[in-house]
Structure 1
Amino acid sequence: MNQAKILLAQDNKYKHVFRFHHVWPILKDMQKFTDNDTATLAFQRESGHFVSSQENSPTPESPTMESPRLSSFSRNITSDDVEGSSSQRPIGVKKAIFKRRVKEQNSAFCDTLKKGQQQFMEVFKQNIGERQRTNDILERKVECRETKIVMMDLNTITDPMKRDVVKQQQLKIMAKQAR
């Protein structure tokens, strides 16, 4: 207790006087205050005046460290064999409701996205079909024009320049059809 008073007096962050000295003899044997060694270490590290309490306290392996009220498990906090799931608190009702609502909203959002994507794909497929039909119609029109040009009789054209142009087009069309 004296060491705690000294640490409290040295702490610059705490400017008030400790007013509960009369309650400490009653509370010091409670499990909350006897088992919470990590809180005092954290307080000592925060204050910047770390005083080693290992000199006055027994080692974790010594039998005096164990309390008759506690079970005989190792109090070594740094051990890796501590099970985290058994010491964790269950989530609260509000948090569970919040998680369920978030999950429902996420699933509703995903469903909406899937429906939108399906509608987009249907519209996309319709557009592809329409474009294919339009391309087929344009190809038929081009074939009709090319057929007319190929079937033209060059002897009926009197202008020599027009005749040369039509002859060039006929040669191009025939080369294209030969491929």
Structure 2
Amino acid sequence: MSTPRWELHIRPMFNLQDWDHMRSRFDFSDVNAVWASRHAILDRLRSDDPMPPRPEGGPWPREWVDLFDRWIVAGETEFGGQPPRLTIGQGTGYNLAAGFGKWRLTATVSVPSPDSKAWLHLVAFSPAVQTLTMFIEAPANPAGPASDRPLLAMINASPALQEVVVINANGETRLPRPGAGT
């Protein structure tokens, strides 16, 4: 079973209504605030009067509570007392090419170990622009040396799509529609 990560598993469970209801006392969008209060939050999620209250969406499903608990345990036992998180990856050599009705986005990504995972995650979309963030998921105890590896993403391109933006540790890379300007 993989380790829950803040960006993928935990933060999305705190919805806008939770944040709005608690923002005067607590910021559910802040990983450090949630981590500092993790046991109090878990106790409340498991209590006879769980949060969120029934009139405001009702309590979390048991699977969510168990996932939150696994995140806490992993952070305390495998990640040196820190919340398990993803990191923003570092990529180079981005290329966007057309082929077979899709766009092929390639790059080279630096990973901290051979057992790390790297991928591009869609974070914003409009008809003209797709914005992707390069994430790295490294294990608590990486096995082996850092290395560079190829990365491939296939993008379904509509006629309106004009640009792909990749956010990584180096900043933004803007890739125009393949064939644009030629």
Q: TM-score, normalised by structure 1?
A: 0.19
Structure 1 or 2: larger strand share? 2
- Looking at secondary structure, tell me which structure has more helix per residue: 1
Larger Rg: 1 or 2?
1
Greater RCO, 1 or 2 (C-alpha within 8 Å, sep 6+): 2
